[in-house]
Amino acid sequence: MPRGFHLGQGTVIRFQGADRCRVFNNLCTQDLRKLLDGQALETFVTDVKGRTFGHGVAMSVDGECFLITVPDQGAKLVPHYDRYIIREDAIVTDLSNEFQFWLFEDRAVTAKAFAIEVDATPAKSCVTSTSLGANRIALAHAPWIGPESILALVPTGQGSEVIAERLGSAWSLSDMSQRTDWELARIEAFWPWYGIDMDDRHLPQELDRDASAISFNKGCYLGQETIARLDMLGKVQKKLVKLSIESSLLPAVQATVHADAKEVGTICSVAVNEAEGKYLALAYVKRSHFASGQVLDVNGCKAIVC
């Protein structure tokens, strides 16, 4: 599999002003009140009901804060933040048109793409900037396809040829719609995709990313009461899980998951694992069946919760 992917345009939301971290924090599950320069943290953006209004990587680099997420979210997220800015010194701007996304599977291939030392690339929960010609490039730890994968924000129309030349055959022209050549890696890494594996009908805890994306110790934020109550009760009725499916045919998205002839879940994303002759999927499964090792059924074929 290629080790670098030119993805095209995603969503880049910039937060500026003295109160940028406070405003960013007020609508997020992660504690961003003191987001330090050089930090990159996974977070959910929530609505007043505590549901997932967005999901991505929050980062602070070169004195500014950003939310990096899937394509076509700017028209939704910028007004969502603007609505709750009263007297704060903050400006929220959609910069999506100004950047192209590159995704690299680890620090070594990132270093090769930008002709820098491996130690100059961001480690876990970090972001940094580097140069590509006359341009400054943000490099952020973003575990979209693995624990060390790194996302680069490259100015539109600048530098992509240089990156491709440096990587040689170890890159792929991809996108963020079909996720060509990296959908299996994304599912293996258990990185849910907003608009496919979740939307504003879901609660953050249903995505099973509490440890990486939710702070239960931060102050008040939009929707916190619902999330805190659910944490206290510990009773999500469904949860996103990874399934290994032994099937000769590709299971369809929205295919139902069964246990003892009863419907217990629905597939959201699926990709073929050719090396193992199986399919890997992300699916919502009911509380009684989402424990690791549970044996379920998809289209009459064995499916195991990973």
Q: Do 76 and 3 belong to one domain?
A: yes
What is the C-alpha to C-alpha distance for residues 287 and 21, in angstroms, rounded to an integer? 36
* 197 & 53 share domain: yes
One-letter identity of residue 235: K
Residue 219, domain CATH = 3.30.1360.120
Q: Which of 62, 78, 89 is nearest to 27 (CA)?
A: 78
In percent, the amount of the chain with pLDDT more than 70 equals 99
Question: What is the DSSP secondary-structure string of 198-210?
Answer: B-TTS-GGGGT-H
Q: Which domain holds residue 252?
A: 237-306
What's the CATH number where 306 sits? 2.40.30.110
- What one-letter code names the amino acid at 82? D
What gap in Å lies between CA 3 and CA 103, rounded to an integer?
8
Q: What is the mean pLDDT of residues 201-220?
A: 95
252 and 161 together in one domain: no
| Residue 137 sits in the same domain as residue 96 | yes
Q: Which two tokens stand for residue 297?
A: 């059924």
Neighbour order of strands in the sheet with 91-94:
40-46, 52-61, 64-69, 11-16, 91-94
Q: Are residues 274 and 162 in the same domain?
A: no
pLDDT at residue 160 in the model: 92
Residue 257: HSE in the Cβ half-sphere, 13 Å Cα cutoff: 32
High-pLDDT (> 90) share of the chain, %: 94
Residues 29 and 120 occupy one common structural domain: yes
pTM: 0.95
Residues 276, 218 share a domain = no
When the pLDDT of each residue in the chain is averaged and rounded to a whole number, the result is 95
Looking at the fold, whether 189 and 210 belong to one and the same domain comes out as: yes
The single residue listed with the structure tokens 């469904």 is 238
Rounded CA-CA distance 108/149 in Å is: 10
Domain boundary among 197, 232, 267: 232
pLDDT at residue 120 is higher than 70:
yes
Whether 270 has a pLDDT exceeding 90, the answer reads yes
Residues 78 and 102 in one domain: yes
> What's the confidence (pLDDT) of residue 1?
55
Domain boundary among 199, 216, 232: 232
Q: Going by C-beta distance under 8 Å and a sequence separation of 6 or more, which residues neighbour residue 112?
A: 166, 167
Q: Are 86 and 219 members of one domain?
A: yes
User: Which structure tokens are listed for 154?
Assistant: 């490259």
**Residues 20 and 86 both lie in one domain:** yes
CB atoms within 10 A of CB 213: 23
With bands split at pLDDT 50, 70 and 90, how would you rate the model's confidence at 234? Answer: confident
pLDDT digits (tens, 9 = 90+) for 278-304: 999 999 999 999 999 999 999 999 999
Does 129 lie in the same domain as 249? no
Label residue 100 by pLDDT band (50, 70, 90). Answer: very high
Domain count, the chain: 2
The interaxial angle of helices 160-167 and 107-114, nearest 10 deg, is 120
218 CB-contact burial (10 Å; exposed 0-12 / middle 13-18 / buried 19+): middle
Q: Among 232, 254, 282, where does a domain finish?
A: 232
Task: Judge contact between 39 and 61, C-beta under 8 A.
Answer: no
Q: Is 235 exposed, middle or buried (0-12, 13-18, 19+ CB in 10 A)?
A: exposed
